[in-house]
A and B are shown apart, each in its own frame.
Chain A
Amino acid sequence: MKTRNTFYDVVDKRFLLGLYRRINSVVKDVMRTRKGRFGLVTIVLVTAIAILAPVLAPYDPASQNLTARLTSPNTTYLLGTDSYGRDILSRIIYGFRISLLIGVVSVGVGVAIGTIMGTVSGYYGGWVDEIIGRLIDIMLAFPFLLLALIIVAVLGPSITNMMIAVGISAAPQFARLARGDALTASEKEFVTAADSIGRSHFSIIVEHIIPNIFTSVVVMATLYMGRAIIISAALSFLGLGVQPPTPSLGLILADGRDFIALAPWITIAPGLAIVLVVLGFNLLGDALNDALDPELQTGDKLQ
């Protein structure tokens, strides 16, 4: 006999409480390490800058001051101006917004597609697994960057398409991870037990499988934030991502490239800004990895 469960029946208070306790203990472990503290502080800082951009930015990032083109850093323009006379500091501050948005959305897309594919594949097995497995293999036959590039080339260059492209390109990695975890979890007794008392597949997946794959997905998602931000910056730099005049860090670099000898500050500052954001996520990812998997104190998942 199968009973129909609503989402709220499945996700009950106990489950949420357990999840909360788990997250709490992981955060404590992470904060105990130097890496974790530094990573978390960096991310909080960058996020704060991104949220408070309108307050913090001394100028409108798009406003051009044609009389102050290619000004080197001074007291008026702390990081100088670009070839249109736009303030680099303000553009970088807004650039953090775009970078974080791109990171969160594209990794979100990757996690969503990947975990669904992987969980379904690992849980159901059989021909479903066969087909999804082949699909994952084929996607993995393309390097991350090339896959993203192809998808953007097909969809056309824009910030939305780039986020979709980067997300889809990351999906097979998450799918492979989730598939393995789901396979292991589905063989455990509690899943058989839940199945035998007639719980629906959906509720078994949400209640038993998802919590089991949760931690490894979180670690990988954190590490992929950095990668997604770098790849997106590269795509924007190439002209296939964020389009002008939106102030993205990759685009500022692309602008600065033409004036690299004349105005190196346009190139140097946004690069360091990217390093800061990515470093934050990589540090946090490493620390999370160590906290959740003490055997592997290396961050090997970062590839």
Chain B
Amino acid sequence: MGFRRYVLKRVLQAIPTIIAVVTIAFFMIRFIPGDPVEIMMGYTSDQQVIESLQQRYGLDQPLWRQYLEFMYGYLTFDFGTSVRTGRAVESMIMARLPHTILLATGGMIIALLIGIPAGIIAAVNRDEMTDDGVMVGALLGVSTPDFWIGLILILVFAGSLGIFPATGAGSLNDPVELLHHLVLPAITLGTFTASLIARLTRSSMIGVLEKDYVQAARARGIGERTVIYKHAFRNASVPVITVVGLYFGNAIAGTIVIEEVFARPGVGRLLLDSIFGRDYPVVQGTVVVIAVMYITVNLITDLVYTKADPKITYEDT
């Protein structure tokens, strides 16, 4: 089987999962005790308003019909309208998506830039001071709540030093401003993941550094740096790639809290606002979008992984 067919197969396999996600989003609000419209509007609205709203949201229809219409809506990229703003949910999400993607990507870049070299350095200096230092740092990194790191960064860099802004995300038209606003949130989001990546890279590198081909590369006269960063790391990266995808997925979810801390206008904050505002169509839309991003990232990782390891033939999987 060629790589293309393998890609197609994996994409097709993801479809039922996405359908399940949309289904859960649909039933989710039906599990909330009480009538959704009443809850959404508060208890003060009169009966007529409620009925007209029920009609508008199709809540007077039988459940299967509502479900099919909901599904059809998501299939045609029509996520309904917000109860609070009256705007189309998909356009509300799309307006905020860039900030979330920027944050998740920024956090991941920082995590990789710190985590991988730290892990490699620890592995090369195994059981020495440097290794101990990196491992203690990584352990602290995985034990610290990210939103608290965010608060401390705000305290130091936005408050005391005043170098970076504490809130907001900047205008999408101004790259410098965007980046300026991105630094603190990205570090906040990246710390936890960097620690995980450092731990994993270290253990993977330790395994690879004992391999014959590393010793053989030295025997061929290749310099130590090239031996470590090219020959050893290329092989050690395979297990790292698999989890990096998983971590990236978790980083997408992590943006929810970070966006709240830094008051960034992203999808995660939209989700929180709509939960508190009982704006259920928006809750459904954001949940689906975040979950689909997570699934997509995992899918891409899987494909990159198959490419990264020449030993994987597509027939096996």
Partner of A296, one of B145, B151, B155, B203: B203
From B172-180, B212-220, B229-237, B251-259, the one touching the partner chain is B251-259
Query: Would you call A238 and B200 a contact (CB within 8 A)?
Result: no
- Interface flags for B248-267 (1: CB within 8 Å of A; 0: not) read 01101110110011000000
Partner of B147, one of A149, A253, A278, A282: A253
Partner of B196, one of A154, A275, A303: A303
**Closest chain A residue to B295, Cβ basis:** A141
Please give, as numbers and ranges, the residues of chain A lying within 8 Å of B200 by CB-CB distance. Answer: 298, 300
Closest Cβ–Cβ distance, residue B240 to chain A (whole Å): 11
Please give, as numbers and ranges, the residues of chain A lying within 8 Å of B243 by CB-CB distance. Answer: 303
Partner of B294, one of A143, A154, A257: A143
Query: Would you call B199 and A142 a contact (CB within 8 A)?
Result: no
Interface centre among A141, A234, A260, A298 (most CB of B within 10 A): A141
Query: Would you call A144 and B28 a contact (CB within 8 A)?
Result: no
- In the complex, what distance in Å separates the CA atom of A237 from the CA atom of B145? 11
Closest Cβ–Cβ distance, residue A5 to chain B (whole Å): 38
From B52-60, B74-82, B268-276, the one touching the partner chain is B268-276
Closest Cβ–Cβ distance, residue B261 to chain A (whole Å): 8
- In the complex, what distance in Å separates the CA atom of A300 from the CA atom of B199? 7
Query: Would you call A145 and B143 a contact (CB within 8 A)?
Result: no
Query: Would you call A260 and B151 a contact (CB within 8 A)?
Result: yes
- In the complex, what distance in Å separates the CA atom of A297 from the CA atom of B204? 11
Q: Is A107 an interface residue (CB 8 A)?
A: no
Q: Is A66 an interface residue (CB 8 A)?
A: no
Partner of B151, one of A154, A239, A271: A271
Please give, as numbers and ranges, the residues of chain B lying within 8 Å of A303 by CB-CB distance. Answer: 196, 243, 246-247, 250
Partner of A275, one of B21, B140, B151: B140
Please give, as numbers and ranges, the residues of chain A lying within 8 Å of B261 by CB-CB distance. Answer: 257
- In the complex, what distance in Å separates the CA atom of A237 from the CA atom of B249? 22
Q: Is A137 an interface residue (CB 8 A)?
A: yes
Partner of A154, one of B32, B144, B256, B291: B32
Please give, as numbers and ranges, the residues of chain A lying within 8 Å of B257 by CB-CB distance. Answer: 145, 234, 237-238
Query: Would you call B21 and A138 a contact (CB within 8 A)?
Result: yes
Closest Cβ–Cβ distance, residue B167 to chain A (whole Å): 11
Q: Is B290 an interface residue (CB 8 A)?
A: yes
**Closest chain B residue to A286, Cβ basis:** B139
Query: Would you call B144 and A275 a contact (CB within 8 A)?
Result: yes
Query: Would you call A297 and B203 a contact (CB within 8 A)?
Result: yes
Query: Would you call B139 and A149 a contact (CB within 8 A)?
Result: no
Chain A positions near chain B (C-beta within 8 angstroms): 137-138, 141-146, 149-150, 153-154, 156, 226, 230, 233-234, 237-240, 253, 256-257, 260-261, 264, 267-268, 271, 274-275, 278-279, 282-283, 286, 296-300, 302-303
27 contacts between A and B (CB under 8 A): A143-B249, A143-B250, A143-B294, A145-B253, A145-B254, A145-B257, A146-B253, A149-B275, A153-B28, A153-B283, A154-B28, A233-B147, A253-B148, A253-B151, A260-B155, A267-B152, A268-B152, A268-B155, A271-B148, A274-B144, A275-B148, A282-B143, A286-B139, A297-B203, A298-B200, A298-B203, A302-B196
